Amino acid sequence: MEFTEVFAQLFSPVTFGLVLLGCLAGIVLGAIPGLAGGMAITVLLPFTFAMEPIMAMAILMGIYVGGESGGYIGSILLGIPGTPANVATVYDGFAMTKKGEVTRALSIATVSNLLGTVPSILIAMLACPVIAAFAIKMGPWEYFALALMAITLVVSLSKGKMFKGFIAAALGLFITQIGYAPISATPRFTFDSYYLAGGFDTLTVLIGIFAGATVFINYAKGDQEKHATFTPKIGHFHFPLQDLIDNTFNIIRSFFIGLFIGFLPGMGPALSNVVSYSTAKNSSKHPDEFGKGCPEGIFAPEVANNASVGGAIIPMIALGIPGDGTTVLLLSALTIQGISAGPLLQQNNPTLVNMIFLAAIVSAIFSLIIQIFGLRLFPLLMEVPYHYLYPTILIISFIGVYANTCNIFSLFCALGFTFLGIWMTWADIPVTPFILSFVLGGTLETNFRQAISFAGGNWTTFFTRPVSCILILTAVFCVAWPFLKDAISQIKQKHERKG
Amino acid sequence: MTRDRVTGVVALILGLFIGINAFQIPASTMSGDPGPQVFVFIPAVLLIICGAGLLITGKSKEEPFFTRTEAKRLLIISAVVLGYIISMNWLGFLLPTIVVLYILATLFGKDKNIPWWGRLIFAVVVSIAVYYLYGTVLKLKLPANKLF
């Protein structure tokens, strides 16, 4: 019943046209190297403020899916990934171009995008109600433990720089605490400033750290002048039937890697494309061909990074916890529209949730069509004038912040976060733990205090409740595992030397 | 001092700052509720421990992340954007944006010899487009003119 309503809305001329535009914008911005995947949504988010939630989410899904699809263009044509989700595509994609098979490479990647996105969304549609039904039974203990696990999972990924990962998480936590505390509304770190009392808005932080820092650093480093020009001619799209048949198992495996990694909170296409590529290489019968232009090396990362789209949507809709960096923005969009995300989202807003799924599927199909017909125009994207592009992005980003908060102070804050982003790049501190703990900090604290209140001041209830206990232990394990692994291998080595 | 050690010191100082200020946050008035103070100690402690850890173990590549010229460029663009925000506060959206877009296009395109009228057209067109798009089509609020 709700589906027909959603269909009708999606295929109404205005919405349809805007989703198409969103897709196009996503592909273009995703393709341009130097603009990270989330930038497209960050920059275009303010456009959706005046729209109704359903339309806003439809367009944002178009931009999201388009952005995840377009990134391979730079990887294949110039060996420069459009987004971090397309790094692994460079190895074989660019090699294929150099061999003269650029059309084949582009066709494979285009088809991979669809193969990754659509099934993952379908699985999300089936999984979300199940997970949400389970999640509704969760109490504040479980929410706290889940948020904790999400943050520690991401921190544990920064192996080799765990200290920095924790510093990032601590920073995010601190920044989100500025303002009024949850539950008791006690002012914290406001220094009697009227402006600080409101705390920092998510968009302000994200625009500073992503858009602002990227443009500033690019100017400082003069990066935009280093792009080569692309000369070979591209033929028409050619459906890679034989390559598809040869790679069926690879595609299926890459799909599930992408789906699972996308599902894990805080990790998404940026990780899954690399993991999928290495897995494909390690389990290949001819690993030496990787890096020299073999189709497996393109299918693996491109299917995985698009499968992460559906994967990341599952926790976003079912739990209200971001599945990756870009879903953080989608969650912010929901908040700005006045909709609270969480397990009750599907119950309270079924039309909206169905629109999200449907728009994603339609966008994937749009992206396919746009890419098939636009294949020969791709080199144009690589010639974009950075000296016009970066200033425009900077202006639009900052104006977006103003449009969201309606005060100039937030622009100063965005500038401040720009400096923070620059400092974090300089110090090699990972950004994802920061973002995640900034977004989840409120949830973490509110549920922590509620849990203890309900239990009358008793802290042990976190461990007496089974789900909460398991999640917390997993969180601890994630952080401890790298150290344990090292300790175990050291012990093994000692034994081997003795024996 | 390597980069990591500097980061460690910064984290340590920040952690101490947060921790000291945390004591001024009133403890909870509700029974059973740990209060707004407890959670503030968590980032403070994390920062102190990890800051100290980085300080002790910190080593990183020796070549600086930003060379002298790059640092200067960073300063330039920071000053431009800061000036932009301040001027927007008094002059509204349109005029400062045109000026800043022209300046930024000049800065970014220094080695490409783009003609001044090209940059001017770009600045004016984009500013007006954004003004129209955000202000009229999307009905979003843009900084308003306070002086005249």
Q: What is the pLDDT of residues B52-78, one digit of tens each?
A: 888 887 766 666 777 888 888 899 999
Q: What is the pLDDT averaged over residues A373-378?
A: 83
Question: How far is A400 from A42, CA to CA, in rounded Å?
Answer: 9
Contact B114 A387 (CB under 8 A): yes
Scan for tokens 């990134």, then name that residue. A71
pLDDT > 90? residue A417: yes
* Closest chain A CA to residue B7: A427
How many angstroms separate the first and last alpha carbons of chain A?
70
Alpha-carbon gap, residue A56 to B104, rounded angstroms: 31
Predicted pLDDT at A448: 87
Q: Concatenated DSSP letters for A66-89?
A: HHHHHTHHHHHHHS--SSGGGHHH
Instruction: Supply A403's token pair.
Output: 């449009």
Among A109-123, A277-291, A420-434, the least confident range: A277-291
The mean of the pLDDT values for chain B is 83
- Which among A142-146, A256-260, B91-95 has the top mean pLDDT? A256-260
Averaged pLDDT for residues A459-476:
83
In this prediction the ipTM stands at 0.91
Lowest mean pLDDT among A186-195, A262-271, A345-354, B55-64: B55-64
More confident residue, A46 or A117: A117
Nearest Cα neighbor of A398 from B81, B106, B98, B137 is B81
pLDDT at B60: 62
Assess whether pLDDT exceeds 90 at residue B8. Answer: no
Helix (H, G, I), strand (E, B) or coil at A187: strand
Q: What average pLDDT does this structure show over A249-261?
A: 90
**Number of Cβ within a 10 Å radius of residue A254:** 31
pLDDT band at A1; cut points 50, 70, 90: very low
Q: Which residue of chain A has the CA closest to B14?
A: A171
CA A340, A344, A349, A353 dihedral sign is positive
Closest CA to B77 of A33, A424, A394: A394
Q: Who among B28, B78, B127 is closest to A216 (CB)?
A: B78
Mean per-residue pLDDT for A202-206? 84
Residue A98 has pLDDT above 90, yes or no: no
Name, in order, each residue with C-beta under 8 angstroms of A250's C-beta and a sequence gap of 6 or more.
Answer: A280, A296, A299, A300
Among A49, A215, A415, the residue with its CB nearest the CB of B85 is A415
Average pLDDT over residues A243-250: 84
Q: Quick check: A163 and B50 CB within 8 A?
A: yes
Other beta carbons within 10 angstroms of residue B24's beta carbon come to: 10
Distance from C-alpha of B40 to C-alpha of A179, rounded to nearest angstrom? 12
How far does Cα A27 stand from its chain's mean position?
15
Residue A50 is nearest to which of B18, B138, B143, comparing CB atoms?
B138
- Residue among A46, A222, A391 whose CB faces B101 most closely: A391
- Look at residue B1 in the predicted model and tell me its pLDDT: 65
Q: What share of chain A has pLDDT > 70, as a percent?
A: 96
Average pLDDT over residues A65-79: 85
Judge: A221–B70 Cβ closer than 8 Å, yes or no.
Answer: yes
How far apart are alpha carbons B84 and B89 in whole angstroms?
A: 9
Q: Is the model's pLDDT at A119 over the cut of 90?
A: yes
Residue A116 to residue A230: CA distance in whole angstroms: 28
Q: Best of A166, A207, A440 to disrupt the B interface by mutation (most B CBs within 10 Å)?
A: A166
A408: buried, middle or exposed (CB in 10 Å: 19+, 13-18, 0-12)?
middle
Residue A457, pLDDT score: 73
Paired strand residues for A46: none
Chain B residues 118-137 within an 8 A CB cutoff of chain A: 122, 126-127, 130, 134
Angle between helices A140-157 and A162-177 (to 10 degrees): 140
- pLDDT at residue A16 in the model: 87
Taking residues A141-166, report their average pLDDT.
Answer: 82
Q: How confident is the model at residue A172 (pLDDT cuts 50, 70, 90)?
A: very high
Q: Does B74 touch chain A (CB under 8 A)?
A: yes
To 10 degrees, the CA torsion angle through A415, A420, A422, A425? -160
Token digits for B115? 């003609």
Q: Tell me what percent of the residues of chain B surpass a pLDDT of 90.
A: 13
Give residue A159's pLDDT.
62
Are B140 and A46 inside 8 Å of each other by CB? yes
pLDDT (tens digit, 9 = 90+) per residue, A181-200?
Answer: 877 777 788 777 777 777 88
Average of per-residue pLDDT across B21-33: 74
Give contacts of B 25-64 with A, CB under 8 A: 25-26, 28-36, 38-40, 42-44, 46-47, 49-51, 53-54, 57, 60
Interface size, chain A vs chain B, as Cβ–Cβ contacts under 8 Å: 186
Instruction: Band the pLDDT of A213: cuts 50, 70, 90.
Output: confident
Residue A228 pLDDT > 60: no
Q: How many CB atoms lie within 10 A of CB B111?
A: 9
Please tell me if residue B79 touches chain A, with a CB cutoff of 8 Å.
no
Return d(Cα A185, Cα A193) in angstroms, integer. 15
Q: What's the CA gap between A265 and A316, in Å, rounded?
A: 9
> What is the share, in percent, of chain B residues with pLDDT greater than 70?
89
CB-CB neighbours of A442 under 10 Å: 17
At B98-120, the pLDDT tens digits run 999 999 988 888 777 778 888 88
A81 φ, ψ (degrees, to nearest 5): -65, 140
How is residue A397 written in tokens? 């980003």
Confidence of residue A230 (pLDDT cuts 50, 70, 90): low
Nearest to A387 among B29, B109, B141 (CB): B109
Most confident of A78-82, A113-117, A466-470: A113-117
Lookup: tokens for B143: 């900084």
Q: CB contact, 8 Å: B3 with chain A?
A: yes
Residue A306 binned pLDDT confidence (cut-offs 50, 70, 90): very high
Q: What confidence tens digit (pLDDT) does each residue in A419-444 have? A: 999 999 888 888 888 888 888 888 88
Residue B132: Cβ-neighbour burial (10 angstroms; 0-12, 13-18, 19+): exposed
